[in-house]
Amino acid sequence: MKQAIHSKCIPGLSSKQCEICVRDSLRDYQNCCNGFMGGTIRKPVCYFLWDGYAYFGAFNDTPSAPTQESQPGPILSPPTPPPLTTGAIVGIVVSTVIFVVLVILGLFIWKKKQSYKTLKPQTDDDMTSPQSLQFDFGTIEAATDGFSRNNKLGQGGFGEVYKGTLLDGTEVAVKRLLRNSGQGTQEFKNEVVIVAKLQHKNLVRLLGFCVEGDEQILVYEFVPNQSLYYFLFDPTKKSQLDWKSRYNIIGGITRGLLYLHQDSRLTIIHRDIKASNILLDEHINPKIADFGMARNFRVDQTEDMTGRVVGTFSYMPPEYVTHGQYSTKSDVYSFGVLVLEINLPQTADRPEMSTIFQMLTNSYIILPVPRPPGFFFRNGPNLDHLTYGSEPGQSSSKSVPSLTSTRYKI
């Protein structure tokens, strides 16, 4: 079978390079394709074409090898093509560089989107993607000494909290969610997106997160004095909170909630304000924590409804418990309960129900002189806890209003 064989090289290629490319193509043709009626072998700088039929002069301008019966003979080397101009070379280089840069940029953006895809919370008004640092699991595992029990700070409903130390010496609190916890996963996504955008001295700061396999981890600043709950209800710690400390704690919580409700970019409803979610730093300054239940409002939004009531029952307002309705006033209700916990007297000062009944049913009753709040402890003759706000040497009576038995009409 006679075959017409043709070859051609790109402009600017030397005769030697063209000959090498064409001969390589010829070897490929002899090894694999000699039995085919026609075809092409294309390389980056040359191509090789054969066909069993004449092309009627279509390749008259193309140097070609002579036809043969079975194996083609030596291929004629084409004449040396004109060299590429400087402008052509610059154009090719610039085009190649731009193409490579665009490919790399596209891959980077795609990988970034994939990295945050699992962190998108299921809300209608999501905040922008978090800019916090994403830790790798090995770093966190090393910081916590393999999540050692000696570093365990506590355990909540959706995971455990460990103390850790990063390579630069920064102390952190690591919240490791329970594996395969669907609800915990939703809280994780919600907390990463919301807390990463909040910056206030009375809010716990999120330093980063980790998502690897089934591991979901939050990394916070370390707050050394645990939660307000321990200081209020632990027998040994509750005596450490004098009036000044409690007053400052209430003020700090107020500033934190004011920031969430009014001063942050979006209105944030915490929905789980309680003593165990208020952490205390080394100076007993409060920091609101645990934003897993938090929700954000639009600028013109004042309330919302939910079919899933979450939180701690004793801190929930009635409209939220019964109808799933929540707003900034929900946090205000929880804050009120928390203030009562901070200021509740000791049990001996609470009246009997018979006394309360008389107060409610009698038209006139002499009420007893109000006692100092329950967090005032009389440790000695100087009454240190009663003199807050007084000048040295002054009587403590100036810090507590002088009250006498008064007749009130109910």
**Quick one: pLDDT band at residue 336, thresholds 50, 70, 90?**
very high
Residue 338: which of 271, 275, 252 has the closest Cα? 275
> Is a pLDDT exceeding 60 seen at residue 53?
no
The pLDDT tens digits for 179-194 are: 765 556 777 877 787 7
Q: Look at strands 46-51 and 38-42 and give their pairing.
A: antiparallel
- Confidence at residue 224, expressed as pLDDT on a 0 to 100 scale: 93
Whole-angstrom distance, CA of residue 283 vs CA of residue 292: 26
Average pLDDT, rounded, for the chain? 75
pLDDT at 16 over 60: yes
Alpha carbons within 13 A on the beta-carbon side of 136: 2
61-72 pLDDT tens trace: 444 443 433 344
Domains of the chain by range and CATH?
3-68 (no CATH), 118-222 (3.30.200.20), 225-344 (1.10.510.10), 356-409 (no CATH)
Q: What is the model's pLDDT at position 180?
A: 63
Q: What is the pLDDT of residues 71-120, one digit of tens each?
A: 444 444 444 455 666 777 777 877 888 888 888 888 877 765 554 454 44
pLDDT bucket at 370, cuts 50 / 70 / 90? low
pLDDT at 184 (0 to 100): 65
Mean pLDDT of 278-307: 85
Element (H, E) at 279: strand 278-280
Q: What pLDDT, on a 0 to 100 scale, did the predictor assign at position 345?
A: 59
With cut-offs at 50, 70 and 90, classify the pLDDT of residue 332. very high
Give the C-alpha separation, 362 to 410, whole Å: 7
pLDDT attached to residue 229:
93
Q: Report the alpha-carbon distance of residue 67 to residue 386 in Å, rounded.
A: 115
Q: What integer pLDDT is reported at residue 396 of this predicted model?
A: 34
Confidence check: pLDDT of 359 > 90: no
What pLDDT, on the 0 to 100 scale, is given for residue 174?
Answer: 95
Residue keyed to tokens 């699991």: 137
pLDDT, average across residues 324-353: 86
What average pLDDT does range 315-323 have in this prediction?
90
Indicate the burial class of 93 (C-beta count within 10 angstroms; 0-12, 13-18, 19 or more): exposed
Q: State pLDDT tens for residues 210-268.
A: 988 888 899 999 999 989 999 998 888 888 888 899 999 999 999 999 999 998 888 89
Give me the mean pLDDT over the 332-352 stretch.
Answer: 84
The arithmetic mean of pLDDT across residues 198-203, rounded, is 92
Tell me the pLDDT band of 403, cut-offs 50, 70 and 90.
very low
Q: What is the C-alpha end-to-end distance of the chain, expressed in Å? A: 122
pLDDT at residue 273 above 70?
yes
For residue 335, is pLDDT > 70?
A: yes
Q: Where are the alpha helices (DSSP H) in 164-242?
A: 182-195, 228-233
Place of tokens 């000048």: 391
Residues marked active site are found at 272
pLDDT score recorded for residue 353: 87
| Least confident stretch, 57-66, 156-165, 181-190, 268-277 | 57-66
**What pLDDT score does 275 carry?**
95
Average pLDDT over residues 142-166: 89
Would you state the structure tokens that stand for residue 178, as one six-digit string?
A: 């329970």
Closest alpha carbon to 195 in 274, 284, 256: 256
Whether the pLDDT of residue 198 is over 70: the answer is yes
CB neighbour class for 174 (10 Å; exposed up to 12, middle 13-18, buried from 19): buried
